[in-house]
Amino acid sequence: GAGVSQSPSNKVTEKGKDVELRCDPISGHTALYWYRQRLGQGLEFLIYFQGNSAPDKSGLPSDRFSAERTGESVSTLTIQRTQQEDSAVYLCASSLTGTDGYTFGSGTRLTVV
């Protein structure tokens, strides 16, 4: 596609429920990143994919968080047993090589109530 698409744009969920966030990167972009942004703060790195493999999962906050990527395209970020502190905007970005500029999606705003 022309840009990075994320869905849903907004998600309100009850504490303890699982959520799945989706990212469609720019076609042909091999590098894909997930970041988390809490209100009024900068971007917190979560995970990086090169192709379908994730060489760096160091940013995932806990084992409740997981991510996968298939077909060197779509990626999903899953949060199990959501907690209120998971409330944030989750941003996905893709890059052609990983060393050039990133193109971000508009994010998914997650609210855990």
Partner 1 sequence: TQLLEQSPQFLSIQEGENLTVYCNSSSVFSSLQWYRQEPGEGPVLLVTVVTGGEVKKLKRLTFQFGDARKDSSLHITAAQPGDTGLYLCAGTPTNDYKLSFGAGTTVTVRA
Q: Which residues bind partner 1 (CB under 8 A)?
A: 4, 33, 35, 41-43, 45, 48, 56, 91, 93, 98-107
Tell me the C-alpha to C-alpha distance, in Å, between residue 103 and each of 14, 24, 25, 76, 77. Answer: 31, 11, 9, 17, 18
For residues 34 and 86, which CB has a smaller minimum distance to partner 1 in the complex?
34
14 versus 94: smaller Cβ distance to partner 1 = 94
Q: Which amino acid is at 58?
A: S
Name which of 27, 25, 32 is nearest 46 in CA terms. 32
Least Å distance, CB 3 to partner 1, is 9
Cα angle 44-48-51, degrees, rounded to a multiple of 5: 160
Minimum Å distance from CB 70 to partner 1? Answer: 22
Min dist CB 92 to partner 1, Å, is 8
Q: Is the CB of 80 or the CB of 104 nearer to partner 1? A: 104
Per-residue DSSP letter, 60: -
Of residues 14 and 40, the one with the C-beta less far from partner 1: 40
